[in-house]
């Protein structure tokens, strides 16, 4: 079975010659739109839910279109058509929501997400053909049913590739899922009270991890250095309204709490306490 998985992964990778430039092109125009939608962008990312909204909405069309297929086989015409209409409507909704995440995706994930979205658009087009045939209420529905089967095949392929982008490439997953939850005090290689300019982020070593430390007046804030969205370096970010803003896609995290205040991240940033211990400055992860 592992060889099948490798073959499928290879089949996705060889799409790079067309998917890479198309992805860069799509990212530009989709990003131009989504970055002007203000709070609606965050709503579509799923920041309010604490998980990417795209993952939740894609379940509905897969379920509805599976039911539609079964009802087609059983020749339950009105019910099959209703399930197909629901599936198509949720495919459109999922496409819009997925496009918002797509605009903040880079590299290999962007290339593979382009393959995923292209296959899904093809599936949607075939389903619209099936719907148009059904609308004519023909006695012989063979063409409508066959096209629905083709659409379902494409949907399955597209869903597989989408799963690969998430599970194999870690796109839109929480970057700190495997970070130790231990809260032991450990030394940090910096004296924040002396070496930090007020409001200037600095990267400091903390055991095997890196933190971004910011001094605001007498208060020293520390968060994990890698952005929860896609691992951007927060120490290269900017301080905005009590938050640190990631330089890669603009997620903002409250310095005082680590809470995400603006996407594309839908996850909070691990937060650390800093104190002056007996042997010098040290930090520990704040229990969340
Ligand atoms: S890496 Fe994307 S917002 Fe930080």
146 and 203 both lie in a single domain: no
Of 31-35, 83-87, 254-258, 279-283, the least confident = 279-283
List pLDDT tens digits, range 166-195: 999 999 999 999 888 777 899 988 776 667
Ligand 1 near 249 CB (within 6 A): yes
134 and 23 both lie in a single domain: yes
Q: Is 176 within a domain?
A: no
Ligand 1 near 158 CB (within 6 A): no
Ligand 1 near 98 CB (within 6 A): no
138 and 26 both lie in a single domain: yes
114 and 226 both lie in a single domain: no
Q: Is 177 within a domain?
A: no
Mean pLDDT of the chain: 93
19 and 156 both lie in a single domain: yes
pLDDT band at 130 (very low <50, low <70, confident <90, very high): very high
Predicted local distance difference test score (pLDDT) of residue 279: 84
Ligand 1 near 144 CB (within 6 A): no
Domain termination site, one of 167, 199, 215? 167
23 and 91 both lie in a single domain: yes
pLDDT band at 288 (very low <50, low <70, confident <90, very high): low
162 and 208 both lie in a single domain: no
List pLDDT tens digits, range 204-219: 999 889 999 999 988 9
Nearest atom in ligand 1 to 231's CA = 1
Of 12-16, 75-79, 177-181, 224-228, the least confident = 177-181
Asked whether the predicted pLDDT for residue 1 surpasses 60, the reply is no
23 and 76 both lie in a single domain: yes
Asked whether the predicted pLDDT for residue 71 surpasses 70, the reply is yes
Ligand 1 near 114 CB (within 6 A): no
- Which residues make Cβ contacts (< 8 Å) with residue 207, sequence separation at least 6? 186
Q: Is 172 within a domain?
A: no
CATH code for the domain in which residue 219 is found: 2.102.10.10
- Give the count of domains, the chain: 2
Predicted local distance difference test score (pLDDT) of residue 257: 96
Predicted local distance difference test score (pLDDT) of residue 180: 80
Nearest atom in ligand 1 to 250's CA = 3
Instruction: Select from 227, 243, 247 the residue to mutate for testing ligand 1; criterion: most ligand atoms less than 8 Å from CB.
Output: 227
Instruction: Select from 52, 230, 252 the residue to mutate for testing ligand 1; criterion: most ligand atoms less than 8 Å from CB.
Output: 230
Domain termination site, one of 137, 167, 197? 167
Q: Is 265 within a domain?
A: yes
Q: By residue range, what is the domain housing residue 48?
A: 2-167
Three-state SS annotation for the chain? CHHHHHHHHHHHHCCHHHHHHHHHHHHHHHHHHHCCCCHHHHHHHCCCCCCCHHHHHCHHHHHHHHHHHHHHHCCCHHHHHHHHHHHHHHHHHHHHHHHHHHCCCCHHHHHHHHHHHHHHHHHHHHHHHHHHHHHCCCCCCHHHHHHHHHHHHHHHHHHHHHHHHHHCCCCCCCCCCCCCCCCCCEECCCCHHHHCCCCCCEEEEECCEEEEEEEECCEEEEEECECCCCCCEHHHCEEECCEEECCCCCCEEECCCCCEEECCCCCCCCEEEEEEECCEEEEEECCC
List pLDDT tens digits, range 91-125: 999 999 999 999 999 999 999 999 999 999 999 99
Nearest CA to ligand 1 atom 2: 249
């Amino acid at each position: 079975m592992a060889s099948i998985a490798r073959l499928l992964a290879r089949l996705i990778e060889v799409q790079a010659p067309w998917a890479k430039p198309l992805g860069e092109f799509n990212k530009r125009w989709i990003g131009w739109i989504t970055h002007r939608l203000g709070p609606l962008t965050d709503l579509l990312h799923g920041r309010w839910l604490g998980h990417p909204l795209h993952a939740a909405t894609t379940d509905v069309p897969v379920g509805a279109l599976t039911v539609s297929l079964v009802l087609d086989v059983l020749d339950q015409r009105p019910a099959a058509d209703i399930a197909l209409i629901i599936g198509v409507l949720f495919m459109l909704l999922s496409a819009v929501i997925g496009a918002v995440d797509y605009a903040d995706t880079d590299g290999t994930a962007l290339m593979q997400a382009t393959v995923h979205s292209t296959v899904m658009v093809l599936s949607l087009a075939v389903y619209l053909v099936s719907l148009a045939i059904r609308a004519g209420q023909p006695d012989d529905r063979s063409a409508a049913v066959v096209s629905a089967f083709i659409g379902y095949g494409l949907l399955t392929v597209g869903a597989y590739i989408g799963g690969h982008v998430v599970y194999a490439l870690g796109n839109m997953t929480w970057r700190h899922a495997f970070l130790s939850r231990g809260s032991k005090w450990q030394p940090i290689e910096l004296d924040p009270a002396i070496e930090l300019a007020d409001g200037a982020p600095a990267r400091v070593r903390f055991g095997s991890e890196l933190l971004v430390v910011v001094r605001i007046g007498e208060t020293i804030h520390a968060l994990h250095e890698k952005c929860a969205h896609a691992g951007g370096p927060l120490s290269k970010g900017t301080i905005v309204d009590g938050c640190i803003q990631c330089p890669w896609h603009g997620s903002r995290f409250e310095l005082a709490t680590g809470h995400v205040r603006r996407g594309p991240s839908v996850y909070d940033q691990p937060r650390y306490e800093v104190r002056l211990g007996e042997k010098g400055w040290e930090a520990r992860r704040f229990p969340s």
